[in-house]
Amino acid sequence: MPSDPHDLDKFRRRARQWLRENAPVRSKPNVVRHYDENSLAEARRFQQALHAAGLSGITWQERYGGQGLTPSHQEVFNEEAAHFDLPSAAFPLRITLAIIGPALLDHGSEEQKRRYLPEMLRGDALWVQLLSEPSAGSDLAALRMRALEDGGEWVLTGEKVWSSFGQYCDYAMVLARSDWDAPKHSGLTMFIVPMDTPGLSVLPLREISGDADFCQEFLDEVRVPASAVVGGVNQGWSVALSLFNHSRAMTSGAADTGPAMDPARGGDPDPGRDLINFATRVGRGNDPVARQLVAEAVIDNVVSGLLTTRVAATGDPALANISKVFGSFVLQRKAAIDLELRGESAIAWNPGDEDGHGPVHDYMFARTATIAGGSHEILMSTIGERILGLPKEPVPDRNAPFRELPGGPDDRKPS
């Protein structure tokens, strides 16, 4: 049923008033945000206030702590929120609400939904995905973390890596191999694991940008109850696919659970403003080369935003792969243009000079855009096969028992 225009107008006025009273107006767009315990505590407090105001979980069912409204209401809120700098746009909270929460809605039991979703919406809990492994990145189905059933519990042992902000999170979705005699996609199970469970340790990984936003986790006989299984035993690949779809929707800006993180869609109400201001300040406002670079960044930003809006309107999660691929290149190109405009200040700068340090940091971090949420090689294959209908690449080991696949001896493999 279409949304009532009068109701949408009323909702818009309420959202606008609350945001004006509680959120700082956006003054400068940022490619990358930086997080620590203090900034995430602020994000949690803001999310709690947002939920109390009836502006969190807009499309989620009321029985799970949501508002039970329509996607049109969410779009209205996104439009209004685009003009403000929301602490709740923090990546760890967005991952929780735009990826893991929706996947739990797709596959979780009624008990799991009622238990975990309300506290997500209140900002009481942050979640992380423990999927990739040192020997299973792009071919995630080749993972080797084992899950053994023991007396009504499951025992998880293995390693995970490249998980975002794991050091700050309260819970994890963990994909593990529960059947070594099944084909590699069929013997996987997804589990909910509290991050403070005995036997689970987290190691932050330092990146070229100087940040430590990714982590490696070690699980040594971590025990979880049978109720921790999401979507059914040996059904974990379906849950993982749901996570992938929601992840690509979020990173492309096509998610419908909150303000988009993509600056091309709702992030900066005046695309390219920061580049124009800088070029003018350093005397390059009339430089034809600088003007062409700024124009390129603005056009890319607008096109990316229009593409993302169109993809979101289709409701087809597979199409989010297209806007994710294009948006990632736009993000990287914008960061490169920023450095070109800055010239020498992008090579050396004084301590505390954000005009120098900030853009260089963002340029280095933007390199992750074509990896995070699925590498572009994988996404392009998905676009070709699922959207364009091209023949699938041959996968000779798809139906073979995982135990029999080549790869050398592995002392973690159950006998």
Judge whether residue 88 has pLDDT over 90: no
Domain range holding 378?
242-387
Residue 405 falls within a domain, yes or no? no
CATH of the domain at 298: 1.20.140.10
Same domain, 76 and 31: yes
153: left (phi over 0), alpha (psi -120 to 50) or beta: beta
The per-residue pLDDT for range 370-392, each reduced to its tens digit, is 877 778 888 888 889 888 889 98
Q: 35: domain CATH number?
A: 1.10.540.10
For residues 194 and 315, state if they share a domain.
no
Instruction: Please indicate, yes or no, if residue 412 is contained in any of the structural domains.
Output: no
Is the same domain home to 297 and 319? yes
Of 97, 125, 153, the position where a domain reaches its end is 125
What's the predicted TM-score (pTM) here? Answer: 0.81
Beta-carbon contacts of residue 186 (< 8 Å; ≥ 6 apart): 179, 234, 237
Over residues 335-351, mean pLDDT = 81
Residue with more model confidence, 345 or 393? 393
Strands 127-130 and 171-177: parallel
Do 265 and 234 lie in a common domain? no
Q: How many domains does the chain have?
A: 3
Q: What percent of the chain has pLDDT over 90?
A: 44
What residues pair up with 217 in beta bridges, in sequence order? 160, 202
Please tell me the least confidently modeled range out of 29-38, 202-211, 253-262, 388-397: 253-262
With contact defined as beta carbons under 8 Å apart, do 246 and 173 qualify?
A: no
pLDDT at 345: 72
Q: What angle do CA 146, 148, 154 make, to 5 degrees?
A: 110
In this structure, are 16 and 137 located in the same domain? Answer: no
DSSP one-letter string for 68-111: ---HHHHHHHHHHHTTB--GGG-HHHHHIIIIIHHHHHHH--HH
Residues 264 and 301 in one domain: yes
Q: Could you report the per-residue pLDDT of 7-56, keeping only the tens digit for each?
A: 899 999 999 999 999 998 876 554 445 688 888 999 999 999 999 999 99
**How far is it, in rounded angstroms, from Cα 120 to Cα 126?**
7
Q: Do residues 309 and 231 share a domain?
A: no
Question: Do 361 and 250 fall into the same domain?
Answer: yes
257, 382: one domain: yes
pLDDT tops 50 at residue 415: no
392 lies in a domain? no
User: Based on the domain organization, do 218 and 259 belong to the same domain?
Assistant: no
